[in-house]
Amino acid sequence: MSATGGSKALTVPDIAARKGKTPLVCLTAYTTPVAKLVDGHCDVVLVGDSVGMVLHGMPSTLGVTLEMMILHGKAVRRGLQSALMIVDMPFGSYEDSPTQAFRNAALVMAETGAGAVKLEGGESVAETIRFLTARGIPVMGHVGLTPQAVNAFGGYRIQGRGEDAERILRDATAVAEAGAFAVVLEKIPEALARLITEQVAIPTIGIGASSACDGQILVVDDMLGLFGAFRPSFVKRYAELGSAADAAIAAYASEVRERRFPALDHVFGDEPRTVSEVAS
């Protein structure tokens, strides 16, 4: 069963048709077990380049490679049955030219079985989005705070305040007009996210944006409390699995040191005996 109650896997047209309807539920996943967990609850599962920070300990997403995205995309694909899988195009894999973007996006889709790719940027990537969609590659856009441009922004700062709001609106409009089927709005003022949602014809997916968006996405490790002390203000923690795991590991370590683990229940009996009856 799909997250919308159907019996088939969700497609790009299914997601595009949800504009103004029941909000789209989206989460990231990077591994097969997590993909299996989120699949029955989500409409969209994003293999985000956030994998670099979440699983590989990188300081930003800039060091993520195409090979890493393909590796994790394959893993997530194995765990999905109903949700639409989208894979992030990493930094440096699409900015040079539409031709470069097509070559790399086609590789990602062929290798991973993704239903679409996601590109960061607005007006600057509109030509590339148009080029890709004209050649059969569905694209999700991403405007506002775009992590691949973190150095240009001077950090992970909120975007779209004051006069900068016009830029974000132009970006979202450009992405929609270029043929993207949906667009992520990240870390922008609530009123601006609401306005963009009203004005563009494609679904908006909010993260640090507005409940008025057509859907919401979070990094799954953030909302489960697995990502250490890092806690963006726009993330609601639905569990504290990190502290629970820490307590479990501490209990294990204590029992090993005190020789309370393994107990008799966790070892094998003596029969049949060998090696000179276990050295008598």
Chain centroid to CA 67: 16
Please tell me whether 120 is known to bind a ligand. Answer: yes
φ, ψ (nearest 5 deg) of residue 127: -60, -40
Nearest-angstrom CA–CA distance, 173 and 194:
14
The dihedral formed by the CA atoms of 265, 268, 271 and 277, expressed in degrees to the nearest 10: -120
Nearest-angstrom CA–CA distance, 58 and 214:
31
- Is 186 noted as a catalytic residue in this protein? yes
C-beta separation of 72 from 45 below 8 A: no
Number of Cβ atoms within 10 Å of the Cβ of 102: 18
Placement of tokens 């609106």 in the chain: 169
> Which is catalytic among the residues 166, 186, 255, 277?
186
Q: Nearest 5°: CA angle at 174, between 169 and 177?
A: 125
Give the burial class of 24: count Cβ atoms within 10 A of its Cβ; 0-12 exposed, 13-18 middle, 19 or more buried: buried
φ, ψ (nearest 5 deg) of residue 140: -100, 135
Please tell me whether 171 is known to bind a ligand. Answer: no
Nearest-angstrom CA–CA distance, 140 and 186:
13
Please tell me whether 49 is known to bind a ligand. Answer: yes
Placement of tokens 């930003």 in the chain: 60
C-beta separation of 22 from 30 below 8 A: no
φ, ψ (nearest 5 deg) of residue 35: -60, -40
Spatial CA neighbour of 91 closest among 135, 151, 37, 158: 151
Catalytic positions, written as ranges: 186
Residues tagged in the binding site annotation: 49-50, 88, 118, 120
